[in-house]
Structures are given as C-alpha cells and as structure tokens.
Structure 1
C-alpha cells in the first residue's frame, strides 16, 4: 500500500497534486475525514487522492480550493493531472485540441469525444475494457473544458446519421446524448451537422478525421487507429482533407435541418426506454 509520506511530488502530476493536497490540509489542521465532511466527499476518497490512488475531478478541486483557501492551486493543477492520464499517443493530440483556433471533425459512427455526455463516454470507453473506467471517463470529459475557456476554438462537427442510430449505452443514454447535441443550437462556436444516410457515397468514406487550424502554425490532420493516433502537417494531406471536409459540409444537412433530424430521432427512436428498462423517460 502506498503511503503519502513515501510519495515523490516530482514523480508525476498526480503525485504532486496529492502532495499539495495533504500539505494544505495539514496546514489547515484538518483530518482527511474533516476535510471530506466540509467538501461533501468521504475521508477515504480524500486519502486515496492524497496517495495518488484516485484521480481528482475539477469539482473536487474547486471545493477543496474554497475550503482550504489555496487560491485556486488545485483547480489549476487538475487539468495537468487529467491530461497526464491520457494514453501517451493521445497526449499530443489533446494539446493540439487545446491550442487550436478552429477544429473540424468528421465522425463516421459516433459522437465526437468533445461532445459526449458522461454516460455515452462511459459506454464507448467501456467496450471490451472495464478497467479504471471511472477515471478514464473523467479524463475524457475533462478535455471538454476547452469549449468553456475564455477564448474557445470554433468547433465544427459533421457526423454520419449512423451516429444517431447506433445505440450506444441504451435508449436513455442516447436520448441524453442527443439532447446534449441540441443544447448547442444557437452557439456560434459549436456547430453540429448531420450527414444523412440517404446521401449515399460521400467524401469521408475513408474514415473519420479531425482538422486542426491554428492562429500562427500550420494546420494538422489527425486520424486514429486501434490504440494509436496519427497527426500530420503534411501539406498534401492537409489540402486533401480540407477539400474533403468542404464537400462533407456541403453534403450535410444545414445546422437547422440537422437539429430537426436529431430532435426527431431522439423523440421517435429514443422517446421511451424499452420495456425491459421500465418507465418512459419522456
């Protein structure tokens, strides 16, 4: 069992967070249980975070900052902690997303990670792998913070209508996910378009991809395989994918018609849970 006294604060962002949490708690003269009572978490959870056995969340960090008067230290650290838990091959991509002025995404069969609800993200990440699912879900959701920062990127998301029909996590999860997509209506910085199945062949048949554009750096195209990511600034690739994205946007429904299709699918396909799940949700 790991003890906080044995932690090296320089070993990792998570260790450093735990070290600082304990240092400030002890300076305030509080036990783990007392701090837990104040911030409405268990003392056991406080102890697990202090010993780097559990990931902190932004909400936990904000509450502890307020309780201990840390000046927002833990809230500033938690983003670094969560990014450090991403797979090594994805950490660079997360940083690209955070720096991008514009993000253009095309998804063939599911909602992009930056727009996923907690239940939907959990269902996606839990496929074939239930290990550390709570932590992995929290890490994915933390990436969505880039859409709430002072100057968020302009995000265009085009996805196939198949993403509305592929039932990930069950009817209730899908209804919540589609409601979440509709919550961006009228937000000029988050734009959702659906590519209808009736449109047939399209420019994205080779697969999903993201295009990141920056204020002063070359654009980057990102594609993903099983357990690996492939960012590239190759000018020919960027030019090709930019053209493909233009055609995908042209073939997709307008923002208004996309919202209508999402709403209709939500009501007609996921308006009620199946009989095995019990009462209606609508």
Structure 2
C-alpha cells in the first residue's frame, strides 16, 4: 500500500494564501463577489485565488490588505504572498514561473540568449553575473530560482515547450568556450525530451521581426493565454487578449523562418564542433 500523505506537513504557500483569503472573507461574512466589489476584482478571480488556481498579482494583495478590504487583518496575506514571490527575481517577472507551472503549452522566442528553461547552471550563472549591481550571493540565489523552473519537465503533466532561438545565440560565447560547449550539448539533450521542440532561425534568413526582444506565451488547459515580454530594463506579463494575440502572431511569423527540427539540431552540432576546436 502506498504511503499516505503527511497531513502534518505545511501547505504550500500558494495553498496557504488561498486558505487564509477564504478564512478572512468568511469571517467578514462576505461572498466572493462582495469581496471582489470592495477591492475592484471579480468574484471569479477571488475564487481562483482561494483555490490556488491562478497566480495572485501584488495589486490584489495590496487592495485586500487596504481599509476597503481586510485592513490590518490582511497582513498575513502579505506575508504569504512574499513567500510565494521571493525577492530573488525582479517584481515584473515573479508571476511568470507560476504561469509556467500551470501551462499546457509554452511557446518562446529568444534572439540573444538560451531560454532560461533550457540553461545549464554555468551558462545561467554567467548571464546573471551580467546584471548590474548583483552581488555573488544574489547571483547564486537567482540561479537556484532559475534552475528550479526547469523541474516542470520532471512532471508527468509537463507542458509542451516549443522554443525558437536565433542562430546568433549559438555563436555568442557566454561564459567562454567550455561553458558554451556544455550548454549546447545540454540543448541536444533537452531536444530529446518528448515535450520539447527546439528550432533555430538561421542568420541567413535576415528576419528582423523578433530582434527587439524575447518573449514567451503560456497557454492554459482552458485555452487562456498569458504572454511575457522582455526588454532591456524590465519586462511585462499580461493576459490581455489583444496583446497575447499580437505576440502569438509574431511568434508564428518568426517560427516560419526557422529551420526544421533535424536541421536545427545539425546547426547546434556544428556550433559544438567549433567550440571544441
């Protein structure tokens, strides 16, 4: 017989947040819709947050702990939200890893670096060291968060990842030749994962559609989509339908220029041989 779950184990912070939100709401005698009206949120979203089915934005937590919401009683919500969103990532990015966990399909484009979900530890460390003002301790903390994101591929319900990168990514020796060779070998390993496809847009294509920055699109089982857009100084996570659709169209245009899967892997192998030389 299988071991029973340890009922004494603490609930994950996402679940604990939802439980506390529901406890506070019911203590006030409010329905989900009533709470939503008080803090400018739909009752449906309140229900999602209570069941830990959607990432909770910081703005919601601030309103819940405001006088219109629970007031000082909501301080525990703030503490739990901080546990869910550690300060090792920029504020605008903290929501994205939770969306990755819930996604059925992730489509990504990277013109400059290997996607975070596919980075080795040494490659990721070299990238993170390039962030101005980062201390060695902060680099290592951010590194652990980045590597932990890759655990979504260890699950039986792992999302499909359709990653497209520019060929220039293979030629930029981030961390040096040895780090790059190991990173590219790791890409070939990932390419063998049944849930991952990796394609390369050749330099000869001359396509400029995606050169302004990388992005990713996460599609949930119910069809709802979120997009993450990178920029030089910050980023944006949005589920606005028109923005997600625009990014999806851009992804399709870029992917149309990409090499087929087998040709993309050949390009990666050729790049590995250059770093070995």
* TM-score category of the 2 structures, normalised to the smaller one: 0.5 to 0.7
Shift of the 134–266 alpha-carbon distance from structure 1 to 2, 3 Å rule, reads same
Runs of 5+ consecutive residues of structure 1 not aligned to the other structure: 1-9, 14-79, 273-282
Q: Is the 8 A contact 1:114 1:143 kept in 2?
A: yes
User: What residue number does 1:197 align with?
Assistant: 203
Q: Secondary structure at the match of 1:259?
A: helix
TM value normalised by structure 2: 0.65
Q: CA RMSD in A?
A: 2.3
TM value normalised by structure 1: 0.64
Q: Secondary structure at the match of 2:199?
A: strand
Q: Secondary structure at the match of 2:136?
A: coil
Structure 1 residue aligned with 2:234, among 228, 231, 243?
228
User: What residue number does 2:57 align with?
Assistant: none
The alpha carbon displacement at 1:156 in A equals 0.8
Structure 1 residue aligned with 2:178, among 159, 169, 172?
172
Shift of the 175–83 alpha-carbon distance from structure 1 to 2, 3 Å rule, reads farther
Q: Is the 8 A contact 1:83 1:139 kept in 2?
A: no
In the TM superposition, what whole-angstrom CA distance separates every residue of 1:94-153 from its partner, at most 9, and x where no partner exists? Answer: 111111111000001100000000000000001143431222211211111111112100
User: What residue number does 2:189 align with?
Assistant: 183
User: What residue number does 1:62 align with?
Assistant: none
User: What residue number does 2:114 align with?
Assistant: 111
Runs of 5+ consecutive residues of structure 2 not aligned to the other structure: 1-9, 14-81
Shift of the 233–264 alpha-carbon distance from structure 1 to 2, 3 Å rule, reads same
Q: Is the 8 A contact 2:85 2:95 kept in 1?
A: no
The alpha carbon displacement at 1:184 in A equals 2.4
Structure 1 residue aligned with 2:163, among 157, 178, 181?
157
Q: Secondary structure at the match of 1:104?
A: strand
Q: Secondary structure at the match of 1:164?
A: helix
User: What residue number does 2:272 align with?
Assistant: 266
Q: Secondary structure at the match of 1:216?
A: coil
Q: Is the 8 A contact 1:114 1:144 kept in 2?
A: yes
The 5-angstrom pairing of residues 1-282 of structure 1 reads 84=86, 85-127=88-130, 128=132, 129-132=134-137, 133-216=139-222, 218-226=224-232, 228-268=234-274, 270-272=275-277
Cα distance in 2, alignment partners of residues 103 and 185 from structure 1: 15
Q: Is the 8 A contact 2:163 2:199 kept in 1?
A: yes
> Which deviates the most, 112-121 or 88-97?
88-97
Aligned pairs, number: 195
Cα distance in 1, alignment partners of residues 233 and 256 from structure 2: 31
